[in-house]
Amino acid sequence: MKRVVSIVAAVLVAISIVAWFWFLASTRQIDVLQPTGEVATAQHGILMFALFLSALVVVPVFTMLVYFSVRYRARNVKADYRPDWGESKILEGLWWGIPIAIIGVLGVLTYTTSHSLDPYKPLSGGEPLEVQVVALRWKWLFIYPEQQVATLNYLPLPVDRPIKFSMTADAPMSAFWIPSLGSQVYAMNGMQSQLNLKANKLGEYTGYTTNINGEGYAKMTFRTKVISQTDFGAWAIQASASPEKMNMKQYESLEQPESVTAEKTYEVTNSKLFNTIMNKYGHSHHMEGAS
């Protein structure tokens, strides 16, 4: 009777832990697990597939751990005692064969998706919107060269249209990441990296820097707002009439090392601002900083 009670109690505890985790996950917005972008959706599929393959090893191992602990406990006198047993070729084949097969599958998957999800690879869906990203201390500047507008800590994007990000930094290295939309790419001073994303759902999502770059790191976030293409066009027209002008004088005040969380919109009066920022360090080469 005690054995039955112990087993039932262990099962109930395990079910309670799983149920509690499921409840927490279902009632919270976890961007990585709830993708809304084309790239992020593909990455989510890879994550779930890798989790499934890992479970093929982890679940049997922990199941056998519990089974062996109960079966061969000291008080169980009915358990077989075989001190002369040495090996089993079948079991050895399983111990080595299954992990090798899983690693092989993951290796092929990693190789193929590294090319199919290359952040430099353009996405289908029409002419991409170009957005130039500048990582500052400790804030984000977004420049829309076609619309001749710029924003601070605020990134409006049209839904279902490819976005081509070109990014650099005028500060210590930062890492640009919008978990809901996809890949993380590093922004470095004097260099230009690229990222192609596409948002498939209207909404607001948080972007981060995931590279520790100083005392303002924790507050260096930005709001990404995905809107309809019609609303984006209307916003661009309104933004181009902003009384705030993004010229070199305005930019020089922004590049000062201070944490700014406010959102602002500017009319860009210097069309070569991004190139000026990128070239000020004297580097002429490009560097891919994706992960």
Amino acid letter for position 214: G
Confidence of residue 1 (pLDDT cuts 50, 70, 90): low
If one counts every other C-beta atom within 10 angstroms of the C-beta of residue 287, the result is 11
Point out which residues pair with 185 in neighbouring strands: 176, 290
> Average pLDDT of 48-56?
92
100-149 pLDDT, tens digit per residue, is 999 999 999 999 999 999 999 999 999 999 999 999 999 999 999 999 99
Sign (positive or negative) of CA dihedral 269, 275, 278, 282 = negative
Helix %, strand %, coil % of the chain (to 5): 40, 25, 35
Beta strands 129-136 and 264-268, pairing class: unpaired
For the stretch 222-244, pLDDT in tens is 999 999 999 999 999 999 999 99
β-bridge partners, 37: 199
User: Which phi and psi (to 5°) does residue 275 adopt?
Assistant: -65, -35
Q: Across residues 60-85, what is the average pLDDT?
A: 84
Mean pLDDT of 91-103: 91
Q: What is the overall mean pLDDT for the chain?
A: 90
Which H/E stretch holds residue 224? Answer: strand 221-227
Nearest alpha-carbon partner for 195 in 85, 288, 127: 288
**pTM recorded for the entire structure:** 0.84
Q: What is the mean pLDDT of residues 72-89?
A: 83
CATH numbers and ranges of domains, the chain: 2-74+86-116 (1.10.287), 129-279 (2.60.40.420)
Average pLDDT of the segment spanning 250-256: 93
